[in-house]
Structure 1
Amino acid sequence: MSFPQKSNGNRILRRVRPRDSSTPPPLIDISVSQVQALDSAAEYYHYQYQLLKDTIEKLGLKDAVYAYMQKNDLTMQDLNDPAVFQRVVDALESVAYSSVLVGTAAVELTLPSSYDLRKQGRVGQIKNQGQCASCVGFSSSSVIESTMMTLGQTLTASPSDIFFCLGTGAAHCATGWNVGDAASKIQSYGFVEDSCFPYPSTALASGQDATCVHSSCSRHMDLQMTLLTGNQGVAMQRVKRNMMTNGAVLTWIVIYASFDTMTSCRNQEDASGNPISAWKLQSTDTTPLGGHAIACVGWNDSLQAWLCQNSWGSSWGNNGFFWIGYGQAGVMGEAYGFF
């Protein structure tokens, strides 16, 4: 991938064009150096994960773990018990088989080749951020809703509260916010339901910042945040495990021209909802336009792609969802989960 020439890595990239309903919402302002860092991290994490999986396959470690489990009458469900998991790792660890490789192989046995939280009934509502760069608030609310469903509670979280209250002073319709700060604020200050602070029509239609509404609603203080990336080879394994056990994952991507339309990412699934294609960078995508926060809700190893939820309305993509290739446009270069 090529990037714009720069004399200053902190130069801000900003898509400039009129705002109207026929074009996607404004994007998060990002610097050239941020683009390079996110893109490099995503490619590295995905490469290291595939390298680990190839090594495990070559050594036959999954077969070894499975044989040990059969011999000791253990099930896949048993591997969710930390004590049992450590017992398996300790039993197979040797000079040739490091604890990291054995542990990775054991976890891989529990991961299906494809997963879709939609089919589990654990995805949040498809929403529309309109003409405000409030994608961080919307994607965070979708992740919260998915996590709460996993915990047995169905609700609609307020993206307005996340963006205009938790992000006070930092989040703006013209420039956006960042996913790390949002995840940290949600852990510290909780969230409110959408009825407490509905999305302002002025933000939706004309991209105007709103003043925080301090409602009398009690704040949900249920969730803890975890950074899923940063652990090199096992980062993508951690992302998959989080989706299965806790729900959707919060991440962000770099937007390029081939993605930046209201008609992109359509027809990626067949009539039965099975994926048939995924968005990938095109040869013409040489200039980053900005950042965009999303909630990812599944994967497909055959397609080599993540399933993600957008906030550009249900008419965009595949009823508001889309598939994006592993490591493309910085996806999962930075990712958070709640539990």
Structure 2
Amino acid sequence: MNGLYHTSEYIEFTKEYLDALQSTIATYGLPWTAGETPFYGGYLRTELGFLGIRSAVDERRLKHLQSSLNSRQYETNIKSFYSAVPARVDWRKHALQNNHDEHNWVTPVKFQGVCASCVAFAVIATMEASVRIHAQTPYDADPTAFPLLSEGQLFFDGAEKACWLGWHRSEALRYTNQIGIIPSDLYPYEAYNQSFPFDRNNLPNLTVVKQWHRINSIVCMKEWLGTRGPVYAELSCFGDFLLYREGVYSHVLRDDFDEDSIPHAVCVIGYDDEKKVVRVYENGTIKTYSGAWLCKNSFGPQWGEDGYCWIGYSECGINSDMWGIERFEMINGVSG
């Protein structure tokens, strides 16, 4: 499908694209701003799934992988939810239930580069924060207590050199469950296809997830985020999202930006029920509602709000389902 600033294969982030996007945002009073990001001045090849989730899926294979995961549906008591979960959560300044001191449990934002590895980055971001919460050791209190984990291992060993193809969530979650992840300083990430030089049967300092949980309702997602920690999520990414600078994002559904979406993965670290969201439909109809997810992205700290973004509830399919970590088998080589 073609729009004013792109073809079926490319989205070009030119000055004209940015000017038109900023004008549309201002015209409709959207509560977010666009600007120059690491993507500005470049282009996106939409047919390659650059951001990182494979769109062509063998359903039977995925069904088998799904059943092999040590996971279950997470359920909650809706009546107790409203009294137990606050109106806003941000794990960069959050207090555990048994401690009133607020801390940052989230590790630094990273950059996936020109490689379709977002699944690995979102999974690792979820694991790193969950390790801290499990051990009750916030990142701001002791950044070196636990190592950062290797996106390079997860992606290049698990997905087998798929920089131009992306990866499936089910395979990534299974890898963390069956193989585990070594520290990133043992195998640093580089944004090009690499060979993994380690023996899978003799990996050092492993962090292994014991159990992932699928969460598929907003109520349960907020309950999990409010009490347990960040989660893995996926969304449909459009060109305007790549030029996001701040505010609460919603896709501009206008002819000039009528682009094909690309699947993308992020780590959701919080939410705010009072954030204003404005949705503009193709016919120009405007609807306003409240509530947004706070996401840690993998576009580096020069994108968005220091690498983070707010995206409205239900925007771009972000809350179709999310995945959280219940417990670990092993953390940095020590039984969890």
| Correspondence for 2:85 | 111
Unaligned runs of 5+ in 2: 3-7, 14-37, 45-49, 59-74, 95-103, 138-145, 276-290, 327-336
Larger radius of gyration: 1
164, 167, 175: which is aligned to 1:174? 164
Q: Is the 8 A contact 1:124 1:143 kept in 2?
A: no
Residue-by-residue CA offset, 1:126-181 (whole Å, 9 max, x unaligned): 0001111111111111100110010125331111111111223xx61112112232
Alpha-carbon separation, structure 2, partners of 1:337 and 1:314: 24
Change (3 A) 1:32 1:302: farther
Matched, 1:194 2:184: yes
| Correspondence for 1:259 | 241
Matched, 1:281 2:251: yes
| Correspondence for 1:316 | 303
Matched, 1:213 2:200: no
Alpha-carbon separation, structure 1, partners of 2:130 and 2:9: 32
| Correspondence for 2:151 | 159
Which one-letter code corresponds to 1:118 in the other structure?
R
Alpha-carbon separation, structure 2, partners of 1:103 and 1:311: 33
Provide the secondary structure at the position in 2 that maps to 1:145.
helix
Superposition CA RMSD, Å: 2.9
Deviation (angstroms), 1:14: 6.2
Alpha-carbon separation, structure 2, partners of 1:164 and 1:33: 19
Q: Is the 8 A contact 1:190 1:223 kept in 2?
A: no
Deviation (angstroms), 1:212: 1.7
Q: Is the 8 A contact 1:249 1:336 kept in 2?
A: yes
Deviation (angstroms), 1:29: 5.7
Residue-by-residue CA offset, 1:92-122 (whole Å, 9 max, x unaligned): xxxxxxxx9x931212210101111111211
Unaligned runs of 5+ in 1: 6-12, 35-99, 230-234, 269-277
| Correspondence for 1:226 | 213
Q: Identity rate of aligned residues, in percent?
A: 23
TM-score (norm 2): 0.64
| Correspondence for 1:299 | 271
Aligned length: 237
| Correspondence for 1:123 | 106
- The answer to which structure has the higher strand fraction is 2
Change (3 A) 1:183 1:30: closer
Which one-letter code corresponds to 1:267 in the other structure?
E
Alpha-carbon separation, structure 1, partners of 2:321 and 2:301: 25
- The answer to which structure has the higher helix fraction is 1
Deviation (angstroms), 1:226: 1.0
Alpha-carbon separation, structure 1, partners of 2:252 and 2:109: 27
Change (3 A) 1:14 1:140: farther
Q: Is the 8 A contact 1:28 1:292 kept in 2?
A: yes
Change (3 A) 1:14 1:104: farther
Q: Is the 8 A contact 2:158 2:172 kept in 1?
A: yes
| Correspondence for 1:66 | none
